[in-house]
Structure 1
Amino acid sequence: MLFNSIDFAIFLPVVFILYWFVINKSLRFQNLLIVAASYLFYGWWDYRFLSLIFFSTLVDYSVGLKLKNESKVSRRKVLLWISILVNLGFLGFFKYYNFFLDNFITAFKFLGTDIKANSLNIILPVGISFYTFQTLSYTIDVYRKKLEPTKDLIAFSAFVSFFPQLVAGPIERATHLLPQFYYKRDFDYSNAVDGMRQILWGLFKKIVIADNCAEFANLIFNNSEAYSGSTLLLGAFFFAFQIYGDFSGYSDIAIGTSRLFGFSLMQNFNFPYFSRDIAEFWRRWHISLSTWFRDYLYIPLGGSRGGIWSKVRNTFVIFIVSGFWHGANWTFIVWGVLNAIYFLPLLLAKKNRSNLEVVAKGKILPSIREFTLMMVTFSLTLIAWVFFRANDISHAYSYLLSMFSVTIFSVPMFLGMKKALLVLVIVMCFLLIEWKGRSCQYAIEKLWVDWHVLLRYTIYSIIIFMIVIFNGSEQEFIYFQF
């Protein structure tokens, strides 16, 4: 079920009414409703894959209970590895089986041996990368004795399958989200209104920004050999805002929806395109994933401690794994390597934590230095996005080669240029609003709230109007494929 669909527009108020006005006296029934609603939400796409979520839930719930009563280190490790192998086994099979098989065959062909093996027609379950990491956080933290294992199967099932963030995050930690299912939740009108405002902004990002940028990004990337360097640069720009509007828009809708039900989710995007270096960008982009890798992979490997070799190794491991998490294609791995190359000089120079404050805090405009650093960081990110979007390595290479040719100084020309100019103007206005609200959890959290109610709701009406008129066909969120 898509957030930007009629189905969800009916589903959400029905669940909301049942949750707050029918079974609001019973915490257990509220949690059970969340489980039922979440399974319906996910099963709307393909009910067959509900068995994967259910099985992972039972495995990790059982492992947690066993860990509680097991003191022997070797047995605790076995229990942890059962959880890891089951969860990553499902993920590896559905997401990476054909990738490894194809590369295995290619490697043997290179050595002169022709192996006959058939790839499988495997459907990738939506959101498997997200809920797999979420449930793994539970068993790892229980193993580390940072979290008391739960005996409440319903609460745990609700944590694993919580529908607002089930298929594209944020990837919540068990230490943060699971305890919220233990205690009675009271309806908070101001929190719900704030949630609705965040949902509105998320829909604007998705439908007005991402979907319209996608139209031109797809056109240019799919026909890149026919366009000038300036047009290809514009295509990369459109993709940068497609993926940002799409993914951060999903996160905004997920977080806002959670607030309607009395839950708090972590911020997943913190205005990353205003970053002054790549390290800051990765503190602000897909925060739930980057912090997951930091806490469960990077730090256990040694983090930034140790010698230069250890720092280099750990940096490349974390970015390559992050790239591979996104998809079974060498383009994602190269994207990860490129970001590691960007990041490494900052780490080695101990400048990776230089920009922790909001850019131009308390000021209307950034300084010339800040603006220059933002432009350099965005340009580096744009180059990396080409690999993320390209069909394969060859496509990315030819795209960049053509983009950085002398034709980059020409005037962009392609079919639909007039509409593209309109979308560019809207993106610029969107950036101004994001800049104004860059100190908040989301851009319009505090914008216009002290204005006269009539003026404030006029602006909200304009946003709704733009969502309606720019809404074409229902477009899946781009991160559903990951």
Structure 2
Amino acid sequence: MLFNSIDFVLFLPVFFAAYWLVQPLKLKWQNLIVLTFSYLFYSWWDIRFTSLIILSTIIDYAVGLQLQRTNTPSTRKLLLGISMAANLGMLGFFKYYNFFVDSFADAFSYFGMEFSGSTLDIVLPVGISFYTFQTMSYTIDVYRRQLEPTRDFIAFAAFVSFFPQLVAGPIERASNLLPQMLKRRYFDYAKSTEGIRLILWGLFKKIAISDALAPSVNHIFENYGSMSAGTLVLGAVFFAFQIYGDFSGYSDIARGLAKLLGFELMLNFNLPYFSRNIAEFWRRWHISLSTWFRDYLYIPLGGSRVDKNKAIRNVFIVFLVSGFWHGANWTFLAWGGIHAMLFIPSFIIGTNRKHLSEHKPVTAWMMAPADFGKVLLTFAWVCIAWIFFRAPSIGIAGDYIYQIFTFSGGDVLSLNPYDNQPFGFEVVLLILFVFIEYGMSIQKINLYSSRVWARTCVDVALILAIILSIPIDSAQSFIYFQF
């Protein structure tokens, strides 16, 4: 079920009414409503995949209780291993089985040998990368004695399957979301109003920005061989904002829906394209995933506490795993590797720890030339990496970039039209969007102004933009559903 679909428009009011009608009863009834509707929401794609969430929930709930009952190190490690094997085993089978079979076959054929392994017709369960990481964080935190396991199975199952962020994040930690499941929630008008505005802003980014750019992005990447360098650059920029509008839009909608229910989810994006270096970009982009890998992979590997060479190794591992987390394709590994190579120089000289505050690059409309240059350079590198992320193969990504820098597709300044229409609308749309985001980054534009007339104007403008941008045929899926 998509947030931007008619199905969800009908689903949400029914859930919302049931959720708040049972509020005067015991807390378990409210959590049971969350759990029931979350399973219904997920089953809308394929009811068979709901069994995977249930299985993961049962395993980690039981492991958590057993970890509390024993202090024997070997037993605790065994219990943690069971949880990791179950969760990563399901993720690996459904997401990476065919990738490894094909890769082995290619490697053997390269040396003139044959590999007889056969691929399977496997459908990737929606959001499996998100909810497996979410439930694993619970088991790991209990194992580390950083979190007390819960005996409330309904609350735990609702935490694992919480539908606003179930299929595309943010990846919530048990330490943040689970305690909220164990407390009674009361309707808060101010929080609900803020939630509705977050939902509108998220829908605007998804429908009016991301979906509006998608046809042009598809056209440019599918016909890159006949495109000029200028058009290819434009395609990379368009994709950067397409995936940002799509993914951050989903996160905003998820956070808004959670507020309607009395929950607070973590901020997952913080204006990443105004970053001044790659390290800052990763403190602003997909924050729930980058902090997950920091706490559960980078630090256990030794982090930066080890010698420099091992620390650089740890950085590479984290970025490569992050790339592989996104999908079973060498392009995602290349994307992660590029970010690692961009990050390492900053890590070596120590500038990766700059800009740790609220990530506000400027405080006035006129950006300092040095900051402006850093933002542009960082964005350019990010766009080059996005080409690998979007391309179907490393070879095509390499050809795409080669054509940009050799101008082999024609005049660098020419822009090839899309269906005999110039890209003017998309360019104007992006300029307006960047202007708004820039104003938000320096706190000169407030979409949630305290003045009633200003809030009303913003709300009406967003609603009109969303309605005018809704596709006639069908709702467009979110890009990160495939991960």
User: Which bin holds the TM-score, normalised by the shorter protein?
Assistant: over 0.9
Q: Please name the residue that 1:31 is paired with.
A: 31
Q: Please name the residue that 2:228 is paired with.
A: 228
* CA–CA separation in structure 2 for the residues paired with 1:83 and 1:214: 39
Q: How many residues align?
A: 478
Matched, 1:435 2:434: no
* CA–CA separation in structure 2 for the residues paired with 1:408 and 1:194: 48
* CA–CA separation in structure 2 for the residues paired with 1:177 and 1:439: 30
Measured at CA, do residues 35 and 448 of structure 1 come closer, stay the same or move farther in structure 2, by a change above 3 Å? Answer: closer
C-alpha contact 2:361 2:441 (8 A) present in aligned 1: no
Measured at CA, do residues 85 and 275 of structure 1 come closer, stay the same or move farther in structure 2, by a change above 3 Å? Answer: same
Matched, 1:388 2:389: yes
Deviations 1:22-54 (A, max 9, x none): 444321100000000100000001101000000
C-alpha contact 1:230 1:412 (8 A) present in aligned 2: yes
Deviations 1:382-425 (A, max 9, x none): 00000000010110010001111234622211224646311221
Matched, 1:80 2:80: yes
C-alpha contact 1:231 1:408 (8 A) present in aligned 2: no
How far is the alpha carbon of 1:115 from its aligned partner? 2.0
Letter in 2 for 1:221: F
How far is the alpha carbon of 1:363 from its aligned partner? 2.0
* CA–CA separation in structure 2 for the residues paired with 1:117 and 1:137: 34
Matched, 1:163 2:166: no
Q: Please name the residue that 2:467 is paired with.
A: 468
Gaps of 5+ in 2: none
Q: Which moved more, 1:26-35 or 1:406-415?
A: 406-415
Superposed, which structure 2 residues align to 1:62-77 within 5 Å? 62-77=62-77
C-alpha contact 1:130 1:167 (8 A) present in aligned 2: yes
How far is the alpha carbon of 1:447 from its aligned partner? 2.9
Letter in 2 for 1:264: E
* CA–CA separation in structure 1 for the residues paired with 2:431 and 2:137: 38
When normalised by structure 1's length, the TM-score is 0.97
Superposed, which structure 2 residues align to 1:169-248 within 5 Å? 169-248=169-248
Deviations 1:153-202 (A, max 9, x none): 00000000000000000000011110101111111110000000000000
Q: Please name the residue that 1:480 is paired with.
A: 481
Letter in 2 for 1:319: F
Q: Please name the residue that 1:365 is paired with.
A: 366
Identity across the alignment (%): 54
Q: Which moved more, 1:145-154 or 1:102-111?
A: 102-111
Matched, 1:420 2:419: no
Letter in 2 for 1:480: F
Q: Please name the residue that 1:374 is paired with.
A: 375
C-alpha contact 1:202 1:252 (8 A) present in aligned 2: yes
* CA–CA separation in structure 1 for the residues paired with 2:450 and 2:3: 29
Measured at CA, do residues 417 and 290 of structure 1 come closer, stay the same or move farther in structure 2, by a change above 3 Å? Answer: farther
C-alpha contact 1:233 1:408 (8 A) present in aligned 2: no
* CA–CA separation in structure 1 for the residues paired with 2:201 and 2:264: 17
Letter in 1 for 2:346: L
C-alpha contact 1:359 1:370 (8 A) present in aligned 2: no
Gaps of 5+ in 1: none
C-alpha contact 2:447 2:458 (8 A) present in aligned 1: no
Measured at CA, do residues 417 and 365 of structure 1 come closer, stay the same or move farther in structure 2, by a change above 3 Å? Answer: farther
Letter in 2 for 1:384: A
* CA–CA separation in structure 2 for the residues paired with 1:24 and 1:170: 29
* CA–CA separation in structure 2 for the residues paired with 1:275 and 1:101: 39
Q: Please name the residue that 1:260 is paired with.
A: 260
Deviations 1:328-380 (A, max 9, x none): 00000011110000000111101101122333443223201110000000000
C-alpha contact 1:94 1:124 (8 A) present in aligned 2: yes
Letter in 1 for 2:418: L
* CA–CA separation in structure 1 for the residues paired with 2:424 and 2:466: 18
C-alpha contact 1:64 1:142 (8 A) present in aligned 2: yes
Measured at CA, do residues 69 and 417 of structure 1 come closer, stay the same or move farther in structure 2, by a change above 3 Å? Answer: farther
Q: Which moved more, 1:411-420 or 1:70-79?
A: 411-420
* 3-state SS of paired residue (1:115): coil
Measured at CA, do residues 186 and 297 of structure 1 come closer, stay the same or move farther in structure 2, by a change above 3 Å? Answer: same
How far is the alpha carbon of 1:448 from its aligned partner? 5.3
How far is the alpha carbon of 1:450 from its aligned partner? 3.1
Letter in 2 for 1:456: R
Letter in 2 for 1:290: S
Superposed, which structure 2 residues align to 1:129-168 within 5 Å? 129-168=129-168
* CA–CA separation in structure 2 for the residues paired with 1:334 and 1:476: 25
C-alpha contact 1:63 1:79 (8 A) present in aligned 2: yes
Deviations 1:226-246 (A, max 9, x none): 111111111111100000000
Letter in 1 for 2:458: I
* CA–CA separation in structure 1 for the residues paired with 2:361 and 2:389: 30
Letter in 1 for 2:211: D
* 3-state SS of paired residue (1:4): coil
C-alpha contact 2:274 2:361 (8 A) present in aligned 1: no
* CA–CA separation in structure 2 for the residues paired with 1:314 and 1:408: 43
Letter in 2 for 1:437: M
C-alpha contact 1:180 1:263 (8 A) present in aligned 2: yes
Q: Please name the residue that 2:305 is paired with.
A: 305
* CA–CA separation in structure 2 for the residues paired with 1:276 and 1:408: 30
Letter in 2 for 1:436: G
* CA–CA separation in structure 2 for the residues paired with 1:222 and 1:348: 38
Letter in 1 for 2:413: S
When normalised by structure 2's length, the TM-score is 0.96
Deviations 1:70-123 (A, max 9, x none): 110000000000000000000000000000001111222223321222210100
* CA–CA separation in structure 1 for the residues paired with 2:479 and 2:394: 20
Q: Please name the residue that 1:116 is paired with.
A: 116
Measured at CA, do residues 336 and 448 of structure 1 come closer, stay the same or move farther in structure 2, by a change above 3 Å? Answer: closer
Measured at CA, do residues 95 and 158 of structure 1 come closer, stay the same or move farther in structure 2, by a change above 3 Å? Answer: same
Measured at CA, do residues 76 and 448 of structure 1 come closer, stay the same or move farther in structure 2, by a change above 3 Å? Answer: closer
